[in-house]
Structure 1
Amino acid sequence: MRPLIYTSFSFDRKKYPVTTKSRQKSLVSFLLAIFLSASLFAQETGPGRVPNYPVPYEFPTTDNIKGVLKRVRAYYEETSPQTIVNSKTGERITNFTSYNPAALPSDGFSSEWSYTHGVVLSAFDYISKVTGDESYAALNTRFYNYVVDNLPYFEKGATVKPGEKKGNWGRILHFEALDDCGSIGAAMIKTYLSNRNNKYLPIINRVDEHVSKNQFRLADGTLARNRPQYQSVWADDMYMSVPFLANMGALTGDRKYFDDAARQVLQMGDRLYVPEKELFDHGWNLTSADYDPRFYWGRANGWCLMAMAELLSVMPKDHQSRDKILHLYRSMVRSLANLQDGTGLWHNLLDKSDTYLETSCTAMFTYAIAKGINEGWISHVYGPVALTGWNAINTKVLPNGAVDGTCEGTTFAHDNTYYYHRGKSTEATHGYGPVLYAGAEMIRLLQNERFEILKAKPDAVNSTYHFLLKSEWPKK
């Protein structure tokens, strides 16, 4: 290490008269010498040759991932007993011979009829398929049986009115929006295909009636809302509708559902997808149309990518819209890889690095990228993006299984200030399902025999991860 350089000046005032100007030059020279010495000192005592990663740059194991999934599941199970209670006294209702107007489903996430719970239940179904652990799928059967066994009690005892809610079952008696039924309806179809409980079918058919016939649409058939502006299209609604339509196609074999699902992706994309950014604007409305202000909110883009993954998984391989949907998927992944933060997380507003790093969109992107690689929809070179995304997610799952750092529910807004200052917490349930999905897909990726994964060496000056497609290389 070089010492600081101290410079002294000595002058013979008779031989070398010192003027004001020369004093100024001497002072400037002195200060410059100190500055240069300090700069050299700072360079030599800065970051070392071995990178100091803010999130461990390590290779996850399937056992570690399964451990995370079990923690999240345990936290979820503890949130509600899934009973019917007297909302005034808090006591459990066990006698259903006469209707009690104070009766409501018990509080807690695991008893909600909600779109965020729908993502969790779809993820549980998927984890069981990936790991063979049927205890996850059993939670789906438990919840949906809880609903269908108790719903007749509310149906016969209540006057069904538009907008009426039944505690955390919301508008289950009268669907008014895609949020009320689409996501959790998709998970119900998946559960029905596993247990064939025919009691589920009346609700599934009622969800279909709302999504396919009753929900407001634009003149071209695009699903929309009349809020907050007249004739508004939300990126969120791609997930609130497309997975249900896709799974209705899988359930019935009727191609019309795949056609409608594909139409929603492409026509929402016509209004929301911005080719220069390769991202989706959060919303569009008829009033501002082509000049609508654009906000690239993380979770909205996550909803879109997850919806496309769901559709691509079940739609016919020869469907006429498949290539267009794949283009949207691939281009989004390309953009997202570039926007990923050095921690492995993504920002709440994707293109604004001074917004906070957010968990739910990170989990959505990690899942969708890993899924795309596993299915062959995108190149395997994106493997490290998914891997570092999972490592970042791992830091957001607390010891008790709660998922931290998730942005609160967010409306379609028109100013940066609103998006910049959205709250985040473990109580924002939008992150739980995506984290479960991401874990399941990462297990698939690590076990995918089509790839050889070259691992980064710990404490190395220059070492990274490479996913190699075995079929591209000469046999050893």
Structure 2
Amino acid sequence: MVKGEMPVYIRLADSTIKRFPDLSDKWDHEYGVVLKGMEDLWKLTNNNKYFGYIKNSISPNISEDGEIKGYVLDTYEVDNINTGRVLFSLYHETGEERYKKAAYKLRSQFDTHPRTSFGNFLHKKAFKDIIFIDSVYMGLTFYAQFGKEFGDEEALDDAANQIINAANFNQNKETGLLVQGYNETKTEFWADPETGLSSSCWGRGLGWYSVGLLEVIEYLPELHPKRARLIEIFQSLMKGVVDVQDETGVWWQVLDKGHLEGNYLEASASSMFTYSLAKGVRLGFLDESYKDKALKAYDGLVEQFIEEDPDGEVHLVGTCKSGGLGVKDYRDGSFESYVCEETGVDDHKGVGAFLMAAVQVELLKGS
């Protein structure tokens, strides 16, 4: 139980800054999740401490000509794009051209990034003929945000098409949920030989997709021809998400198998679904019946995953450290391959997602 009048999300953010005074030691997608949470919190509170944290973490890595320390374009990893999302705020607030140049540098990766035959980015260059729904948040949100910021219609169109492709392949039309992976050639050891799909609904993978999908919708012009289809995908997905919401308000590591031994409630996915529900209601994409689901989810986040230590610092527990398909032999997409993954305390992916969720719940309460 966390005591005190200060909101728990403020205390978690401040404790995070105390534990990690800046995140400048590398260019890392997990850092990008925390920094996006801090960016949302800065915009909610107008407290420049949080903007300063972003600037202190990013500025040392951006040269005057926009080169990014630690970023290598031709490794072609979608994850390498994510941290660039805070470059837009840095550019607008400081007026420094180096941040804009860095954003253009990241955007240029997509000009030559390897794709499947149907046009989706490979999550990594080594993953031939494979799409992961994680890519929607890790790459396509930046892509679409860049499109909105700098008038790049091609980026907006391409991002929308790739999200729709992922739904066409990975979404179960009955449940609304998506599995993590699709293998075009159906040859990967985790892929069903008939469908090419992986077999389990991994919480965080679908969380990345839901948040990324919603943010891309927000960046598209209202009259964009693909916007209605994206909203339809989001609505069917969120119906599926609330159908598997646990009585505690949060969600399981493997979403639709909460009753199976070994499964566990997971913080990062739960935070992302809370974000998606709250923001979806606030923007009018979900009806008011979802509001109580969002508020219950946030209460569950605090109850299940927030802890206070004897020194008064606040921690987030229960975030899956790592998960996925392939690379490691045991990652075959089965239930067991996901629930065997360990959880961590104050994992950046969970902390950032929690802050993002908390901000959306506050905005929903105030709307």
Q: Does 1:409 align with 2:314?
A: no
Quote the residue 1:425 is aligned against.
Answer: 344
Q: How does 1:362-373 map to 2 (within 5 A)?
A: 362-373=270-281
Q: CA deviation at 1:203?
A: 2.0
In the superposition, the TM-score normalised over structure 2's length comes to 0.87
Residues in 2 aligned to 1:229 and 1:257: alpha-carbon distance in whole angstroms = 23
Q: Find 2:177's aligned residue among 272, 279, 288.
A: 279
Q: Deviations over 1:310-359 (max 9, x none)?
A: 11222100000011100111111111111111111100000101310001
Q: CA deviation at 1:228?
A: 7.3
Q: How does 1:248-263 map to 2 (within 5 A)?
A: 248-263=146-161
Q: CA deviation at 1:404?
A: 0.6
Q: Find 1:398's aligned residue among 307, 312, 337.
A: 307
Quote the residue 2:121 is aligned against.
Answer: 223
Larger Rg: 1
Quote the residue 1:207 is aligned against.
Answer: 106
Confirm or deny: 8 A CA contact 1:246 1:314 kept in the other structure.
yes
Quote the residue 1:159 is aligned against.
Answer: none
Q: How does 1:292-307 map to 2 (within 5 A)?
A: 292-307=197-212
Residues in 1 aligned to 2:152 and 2:73: alpha-carbon distance in whole angstroms = 26
Is the alpha carbon distance of 1:129 and 1:428 closer, same or farther for their aligned partners in structure 2, counting shifts above 3 Å?
closer
Q: CA deviation at 1:128?
A: 2.2
Is the alpha carbon distance of 1:349 and 1:150 closer, same or farther for their aligned partners in structure 2, counting shifts above 3 Å?
farther
Is the alpha carbon distance of 1:67 and 1:202 closer, same or farther for their aligned partners in structure 2, counting shifts above 3 Å?
same
Is the alpha carbon distance of 1:382 and 1:225 closer, same or farther for their aligned partners in structure 2, counting shifts above 3 Å?
closer
Is the alpha carbon distance of 1:240 and 1:287 closer, same or farther for their aligned partners in structure 2, counting shifts above 3 Å?
same
Confirm or deny: 8 A CA contact 1:178 1:237 kept in the other structure.
no
Task: Name the aligned partner's letter for residue 116 of structure 1.
Answer: E
Larger RCO, structure (CA 8 Å, separation 6 or more)? 2
Q: Does 1:186 align with 2:85?
A: yes
Q: Does 1:378 align with 2:286?
A: yes
Quote the residue 2:14 is aligned against.
Answer: 74
Q: Find 1:142's aligned residue among 51, 56, 67.
A: 56
Q: Deviations over 1:452-474 (max 9, x none)?
A: xxxxxxxxxxxxxxxxxxxxxxx
Task: Name the aligned partner's letter for residue 120 of structure 1.
Answer: V
Q: Does 1:121 align with 2:35?
A: yes
Is the alpha carbon distance of 1:222 and 1:187 closer, same or farther for their aligned partners in structure 2, counting shifts above 3 Å?
same
Q: Does 1:329 align with 2:234?
A: yes
Confirm or deny: 8 A CA contact 1:278 1:335 kept in the other structure.
yes
Identity of aligned residues (%): 23
Is the alpha carbon distance of 1:222 and 1:135 closer, same or farther for their aligned partners in structure 2, counting shifts above 3 Å?
same
Residues in 1 aligned to 2:335 and 2:219: alpha-carbon distance in whole angstroms = 37
Where structure 2 has 5 or more consecutive residues not aligned to the other structure, the ranges are: 187-193, 326-330
Task: Name the aligned partner's letter for residue 102 of structure 2.
Answer: I
Residues in 1 aligned to 2:197 and 2:181: alpha-carbon distance in whole angstroms = 8
Confirm or deny: 8 A CA contact 2:182 2:196 kept in the other structure.
no
Range moving further from structure 2, 221-230 or 348-357: 221-230
Give SS of 1:398's match: strand
Structure 1 residue ranges (4+ consecutive) displaced by more than 3 angstroms after TM superposition: 79-82, 109-112, 149-152, 177-180, 225-230
Residues in 2 aligned to 1:250 and 1:279: alpha-carbon distance in whole angstroms = 28
Task: Output the aligned Cα RMSD.
Answer: 2.5
Task: Name the aligned partner's letter for residue 279 of structure 1.
Answer: L
Residues in 2 aligned to 1:179 and 1:114: alpha-carbon distance in whole angstroms = 11
Quote the residue 2:253 is aligned against.
Answer: 348
Where structure 1 has 5 or more consecutive residues not aligned to the other structure, the ranges are: 1-54, 57-62, 83-108, 156-168, 449-476
Q: CA deviation at 1:134?
A: 2.8
Is the alpha carbon distance of 1:431 and 1:178 closer, same or farther for their aligned partners in structure 2, counting shifts above 3 Å?
same
In the superposition, the TM-score normalised over structure 1's length comes to 0.68
Is the alpha carbon distance of 1:124 and 1:81 closer, same or farther for their aligned partners in structure 2, counting shifts above 3 Å?
closer
Q: CA deviation at 1:181?
A: 2.5
Residues in 1 aligned to 2:279 and 2:31: alpha-carbon distance in whole angstroms = 21
Is the alpha carbon distance of 1:116 and 1:344 closer, same or farther for their aligned partners in structure 2, counting shifts above 3 Å?
same
